[in-house]
Amino acid sequence: MNSEFNYQGKRYFLAVFCGTFICWSIGGVLSFNHQWEDYYILPMLLGLMMPAILASGFIWRQPGSGMKQDFVNRLVSLRRIQPKAFFLTLATMPLSVITAIFLSLMFGGSAEQFHFSEHFSFSTGFVPVLGLLFLAAVFEELGWRGYGFESLEKGRSFLKASIVFGVIWSLWHLPLLWVNHSYQYEIYRQSAWYAVNFYISTAVLGVIVSWVCHINQRSILAAILFHLVVNLSQEMLSMTQQTKCIQTIVLVGFTLVIVGHQWPVFANLNTQVNSKRLNRRVLT
């Protein structure tokens, strides 16, 4: 976060929640109407874009060009990404999947979970699921990293800002529970506990994504790529929902290790940590 910029975090998140909830609620109604179900994805896409649309508005309303230049630089600059640290972090989600499946075998889980999934766990109308996973990573992180998370850091430690963001990000997905064909709706139909697990795991991932962005000098591009790997990892193998519950525990463990190993970073109120010193800690 740049302390010279004037962030309006409360207004931003309130606007994002209102805009997204309205769009996704309309999409939910259309998804259960046979006459309109082919078009329900249109308001769903608009709701998905809301974090990025509103972040752009808040940024471009700022006086001067400082915040605009900072946003563009963090989005396009490859120099911000620390290759060794970044590629190591990309392995986090695939590793959590493999670990969870191995652990599930101890509780009677099937080894067939290691097989590549033959189909996606949800549908998205006329928009390809793979395309939606990509768009979700792009539009969410443009908003969350471009403006939202930055606004949460003022007066907070990096750990507190990450936890607050994780909770907000998790709650942002709530309207998907009443959208037919959505992943959240499908797992809720199986068990309410599976839905609870999704929201807990999302909050935990919020901390991890924040960390990945931070160690790559606040690179929005790094956050987008990591988010995409998260989405693909969850759909790649034939994991059961029981195993995904185990995966959440694994992710909590990973997060505790990351926070413990880099406690000075997470406890620091000034998140403008020297990147070279930070990356030495990441890689040691």
- Please say whether the dihedral angle defined by the alpha carbons of residues 221, 23, 196 and 162, taken in this order, is positive or negative: positive
Sign of CA dihedral 79, 90, 165, 260: negative
Q: Which of 4, 34, 140, 141 is catalytic?
A: 140
Give the separation between CA 72 and CA 37, rounded to whole angstroms: 37
Q: Is 140 a catalytic residue?
A: yes
Query: Token pair of 276, please?
Result: 């070279």
Q: What gap in Å lies between CA 85 and CA 22, rounded to an integer?
A: 39
Active site residue: 37, 173, 181, 186, which one? 173
Answer yes or no: 118 catalytic: no
Contact between residue 255 and residue 160 where contact means Cβ atoms under 8 Å apart: no
Q: State the catalytic residues.
A: 140, 173
